[in-house]
Structure 1
Amino acid sequence: MNHKYIATQRASALEWAKHVLTNQGFLFENPIEVVREMPWSTVYRIPSSKGNLYLKLAAKPFAIETILLPYLSRYYPALLPHVLATNPELHAIIMSDSGEPLRTILQKKYQVNLAMKAIDHYATIQIGMIAHVDELLTLGVLDWRLSILPNLYLDLLAQKEALMHDGLTADEIERLIKMQPKGLQLCRELAHVNLHAKGTI
């Protein structure tokens, strides 16, 4: 991990966010603070005269989110955060406050109905985007369709040195390679969508 690069990216993103929001008429009321820091993203809360705003910085492997989220929001604005601005070069997105995160709510008290509702919304977007696959691929979204997954699985297992560095043994890798045909079979079965009256119990 290049810590110098990350520090530079964060400083540049914060300056960019302040500039963009100032031009949009926002006034800052309190210091900007980190509210979540994970390997795949860092989220800052920006208190303003018009409520809390959030700056999300995605790690490089997930930078497509800065392009994908505004695209999806065109079709499902009620199901996704409102995007105020994006900067793909900095992997940065500024969003308005969408309320308390589901994870926080479920950690306090797990509510099955809320979890199911979130899954339903997620499925709605996925199913709706089936008709836009070519556009998504043009945007740069990775092709992880079921027909592609078995080959991606083998590509991953071919990176033996990296996998062993992460803790897998050579024997475990070989066992996983031998499981590829089973994975291929499962992907074909799922892609077939054989969910009719005779195919369910």
Structure 2
Amino acid sequence: MEDGRWRDPEWLDQVLAWIDARVARSGAVEQPHVRAWATVLRVPTVDGDVWFKANDASLRHEVAVVERISARRPDVVPPLIGSDVANGWLLMADAGETLRSVTERERSLDRWLDVLPRYASVQRDLAGEVGALLAAGVPDMRLATLPAAYTKLVDEVGAEPRFRDAVPVVEALCAELDGYGLPELLQHDDLHDGQVFVQDGRHLVLDWGDACVSHPFFTLAVTVQGGLAWGLDDVENSVDTTPFVAAYLEVFGTGLERAAEIAMRLGWVCRAINGRIPGDDVPTMTRLRMFLDGHP
């Protein structure tokens, strides 16, 4: 899906003027990504490419997220060159190569043993920013919100009755997970190997547009069940994910395996609600099946 506004000459002129006030362009700007909700420009400079991203109103909170991560954990995102919260604009240095490309070349998933605890430490380090992030428009997907939001979602998408019948399951799992007393934190909500980059040996996490405030372990749904468990050759449940989950959990403490198990299931409820694109309910139904059935 595209949105014509991202190619509007007047809008692009405004963007280029904003970029030129921050970097010296050395060649023609390219627009490799255009979607209904965002666009990305590649901007060549004498010091290498930099990247501009614009989000629509629904995702402008990404700027507030990246600003805070850049301030507290500059080792996990590329250098932030410019930002505009009101417009939803970001200008960042190049992040290197996608983890997807690197793991395909190396034929190994072991880099995730560094990525996951690094990302978990970012969640912990931004604990004090949760209130400010919610105020900036980051979606509230905390446990207390999920049962009602799930009920509304299954009604809106016309899901089979069995999904509506699962509301008490959502309620019970939320209550059990809440019993562990873990803080609800910033959560990427779409952390996969296309969102992680490798530069000079460092692993960087990008594309925080789907970020929300939720139980931190919800991230394991997409990352572990939706990604790592499928391995390098895209075969369901072909990888023992225990070491990856353990590497992530180590940042939070011990005895949390059951909490992670619950969160991996409820994480699909969060993703279905938070990631829904009106008019395209195929991904939503896949995520609801992952929650209820454990497979797509």
Of the structure 1 ranges 37-46 and 140-149, higher mean CA displacement relative to structure 2 is found in: 37-46
Query: Deviation per CA, 1:41-71, whole angstroms, max 9, x where unpaired?
Result: 3322111112110011224322210222112
Give the residue type in structure 1 aligned to 2:103: L
Give the residue type in structure 1 aligned to 2:73: Y
Give the residue type in structure 2 aligned to 1:184: E
Give the SS at the match of 1:123: helix
Query: Is the radius of gyration larger for structure 1 or structure 2?
Result: 1
Counterparts in 2 of 1:187 and 1:11: CA distance versus 1, 3 Å: farther
Give the residue type in structure 1 aligned to 2:7: A
Contact 1:44 1:56 survives alignment (8 Å): yes
Selected match of 1:187 from 158, 161, 174: 174
The corresponding residue for 1:3 is: 3
Selected match of 1:23 from 21, 24, 47: 21
The corresponding residue for 1:167 is: none
Selected match of 2:110 from 97, 109, 113: 113
Give the residue type in structure 2 aligned to 1:3: D
Selected match of 1:77 from 74, 78, 81: 74
Counterparts in 2 of 1:21 and 1:196: CA distance versus 1, 3 Å: closer
The corresponding residue for 2:87 is: 90
Selected match of 2:144 from 144, 147, 157: 147
Contact 2:51 2:94 survives alignment (8 Å): yes
Structure 1: how far apart are the matches of 2:145 and 2:173? 12
The corresponding residue for 1:122 is: 119
Identify unmatched segments of 5+ residues in structure 2: 182-252, 259-296
Instruction: Tell me the TM-score normalised to structure 1 length.
Output: 0.77
Structure 1: how far apart are the matches of 2:106 and 2:74? 27
The corresponding residue for 2:44 is: 47
Structure 1: how far apart are the matches of 2:81 and 2:63? 11
TM-align CA RMSD: 2.9
Whichever structure has more helix as a proportion of its residues is 1
- How far off its partner does 1:196 sit? 5.5
Contact 2:32 2:41 survives alignment (8 Å): yes
Structure 1: how far apart are the matches of 2:255 and 2:107? 33
Instruction: Tell me the TM-score normalised to structure 2 length.
Output: 0.55
What is the identity percentage for the equivalent residue pairs of Structure 1 and Structure 2?
22
Structure 1: how far apart are the matches of 2:2 and 2:48? 34
For 1:155-166, what aligned pairs fall within 5 Å after superposition? 155-159=152-156, 163=157
Give the residue type in structure 1 aligned to 2:167: Q
Query: Deviation per CA, 1:132-162, whole angstroms, max 9, x where unpaired?
Result: 3222222221111122222221122232xxx
Contact 1:84 1:95 survives alignment (8 Å): yes
Of the structure 1 ranges 82-91 and 72-81, higher mean CA displacement relative to structure 2 is found in: 82-91
Query: RCO higher in 1 or 2 (8 Å CA, sep ≥ 6)?
Result: 2
Residue 174, structure 1, aligned to residue 152, structure 2: no
Counterparts in 2 of 1:34 and 1:176: CA distance versus 1, 3 Å: same
Query: Deviation per CA, 1:153-181, whole angstroms, max 9, x where unpaired?
Result: 1122232xxx2xxxxxx4x4322111111
Contact 2:2 2:34 survives alignment (8 Å): no
Contact 1:42 1:56 survives alignment (8 Å): yes
Number of aligned residues: 187
